[in-house]
Structure 1
Amino acid sequence: MLDLFVRFLLGGTAVMVSYLVTVLSPWKILAGIFAAFPAVMLTAVLMMGLASGSVKAAKIAKGSVFGMIGGVVCVITVFLSLQLSHQWLFSILLGLVLWLVSSIAISAFKEKLLNRSAARA
């Protein structure tokens, strides 16, 4: 239960700060920067580190690389889709789908490369 509370507290705080920056900041680019704050990844690494130690926390951090690369795909997709369609809901949904697909594809590609390297050795 403590794990859920800490995740809720950290994630909620990150979302709240991002929103406040969006509303209060005269520099709207800061809103986008704060919107990309990796709160979920940091919380997952923190909680895994506390529960199971640094080795497992490092595995979570390593895996998050694929999600963050997918995040870049998501941002580019949403940006371009908004420019072309002017439909924010469609753009967000398309970005989320491509985030998931690209994250899984990149992870699978890396695994395939590692298996190929191991087979050669």
Structure 2
Amino acid sequence: MDRRDLFFRFLFGGSAVVLSYVTAKLLPWKVIGGIFAAFPAVMVVAVMMVGMKKGSKEAAKTAQGSVYGMIGGFICVLTVLFSLQFTQNWWGSFIFGLITWFASSLFLVYMRDHKKENRASNIKLEH
């Protein structure tokens, strides 16, 4: 590996860690920080750091958010693959993939919350 390659890996990996941390700190929706923590190399470190600072319950929330981010990552990979095949534009495909990753991850969180609300409503109606 040459120095330039190491520099870019450090730059992008470090940026992912910083983005994950800043997002988790600034936004009231902690699952968003977990979604950003879904970058595979970042996820392990993010869960470990949260666990050391805030305990297992908070680490579990971050890990749960990363599940949605990783499913979104799978959708991102498919989007980039198909976009590249049709457009041959790697930069546009990359941007489009990131947008679909984030949107699909948020959609999964929305669906989870919607399902919880419906379950709570049904329990109230039964009693």
TM-score normalised over the length of structure 1: 0.69
CA separation of 1:37 and 1:111: change in aligned 2, threshold 3 A? closer
Which residue in the other structure is 1:118 paired with? 120
> Which residue of structure 1 aligns with residue 52 of structure 2?
50
Q: Which has the higher contact order (CA 8 A, sep 6+)?
A: 2
Consecutive aligned runs of 4 or more in structure 1 exceeding 4 Å deviation:
none
User: 1:118 offset after TM fit, Å?
Assistant: 1.1
Q: How does 1:58-97 map to 2 (within 5 A)?
A: 58-97=60-99
What displacement does 1:37 show?
6.7
Aligned residues: 90
- The runs of 5 or more residues in structure 1 that have no matched partner are 1-10, 16-35
Residue identity matched to 1:62: Q
Amino acid at match of 2:73: G
For residue 63 of structure 1, report the CA deviation from its aligned partner: 1.0
Identity percentage of aligned residues = 44
Shift of 1:43: 1.2
Indicate if the aligned counterparts of 2:72 and 2:101 stay in contact, CA closer than 8 A: yes
- Structure 2: gaps of 5 or more residues: 1-8, 14-37
RMSD, aligned CA: 2.0
